[in-house]
A = this chain, B = another copy of it.
Amino acid sequence: MSELKSYLTRQAKRVDQALRGALPRSNVRPATLHKAMRYSIFAGGKRLRPILTLAACEACGGDPEEALPLACAVECLHTYSLIHDDLPSMDDDDLRRGNPTLHKVYGEAVAVLAGDALQALSFELIGRAKPTPRYSTAALLGELAVTAGSQALIAGQVMDMEGEGKKLTKGQIVSIHERKTAALLTTSLRFGAMSANASESKLAAITRFGFALGLAFQVIDDILDVTQSSEKLGKSAGKDEAVDKSTFPALIGLERSRKEAAKLTRQAQLALHEMRLGRSRLAEIADYMLKRDY
């Protein structure tokens, strides 16, 4: 485990360095905007998604250096979506990654615009990634655009908000999790595989792995929202219950939610085994993500 920890730290640093180069410096006009973008990007995120990109690239025999622009693109997209989800008109959150949310520090207008700019930057980074024989720039662009779009990431946020105060079915909750969490986690992994020019069948297996991992990850997130403190999570805990959100713990209780997460975890592991990656770094990271308590 300590070997994995050092791998995660090393890769996170690599992503951080690439992000420092990808974002305009704080003194570039308009300075407020660029400071705000950097505030959220360098707020101490765990960099799980970009690390998945790099690890999937390695697992498919690619050079992770080539995957860095794509890794940065998913992190920018993820950060933008957190900034907008935290806005007063949406989840109205004060705390993120252990720090005050962006709108608390820079005001709402700058938070909206910094999020907008990070979405634009994530697409700009796609243009800087090297296409491979199997995966053109148009394919990489289409992948991110669909995941970022009105039927995936944004659909998830809308459905999540619309579900507040309502009793959703298990199927409806899964459908939100797929869009809100699993889609971008899967794209993170697929980007790694694509930058390694992985075969179609490998990409399909990575996709199955990503979806199971993403769903498990979200169920665990909802469990932690109930069981952990804000201090430990670095974001407001107990939020789901406060706004009467339909989650697995609310619907089927903690114990059965844990079983559900374990089932999804096994599905993820199975997908890796099919690719003979059952003992890979990717498997270790999945294990780490699903055993976390923060």
Contacts and interface: CB of A to CB of B under 8 A. Distances in A.
Interface in A93-130: 107-110, 112-117, 119-121, 123-124, 126-128
Interface residues of A, number: 51
A90 B117 contact: no
A157 interface: yes
Interface string A8-47: 0000000000000000100011101110010000000000
Contact of A120 (B32, B114, B121, B150): B150
A154 to B, nearest CB: 5
Interface string A247-273: 000000000000000000000000000
Nearest to A89: B108
Contact of A154 (B33, B136, B138): B33
A121 B149 contact: yes
A82 interface: no
A141 to B, nearest CB: 4
A229 to B, nearest CB: 28
B159 A117 contact: no
Contacts of A113: 84, 154, 157-158
Report copies per complex. Answer: 2
Contacts of A37: 150
Given A109-B90, A141-B137, A116 B33 contact: no
Interface of A: 24, 28-30, 32-34, 37, 84, 87, 89-90, 107-110, 112-117, 119-121, 123-124, 126-128, 131, 136-139, 141-142, 144-146, 148-151, 154-155, 157-159, 161-162
18 contacts: A30-B158, A30-B159, A30-B162, A33-B154, A33-B158, A34-B150, A37-B150, A89-B109, A89-B112, A90-B109, A112-B112, A116-B154, A121-B145, A124-B142, A127-B139, A127-B145, A136-B137, A137-B137
Given A115-B116, A116-B119, A127-B138, 14 more contacts: A24-B151, A30-B155, A30-B158, A33-B158, A84-B113, A87-B112, A89-B112, A90-B112, A109-B161, A116-B154, A120-B145, A121-B149, A123-B148, A127-B145
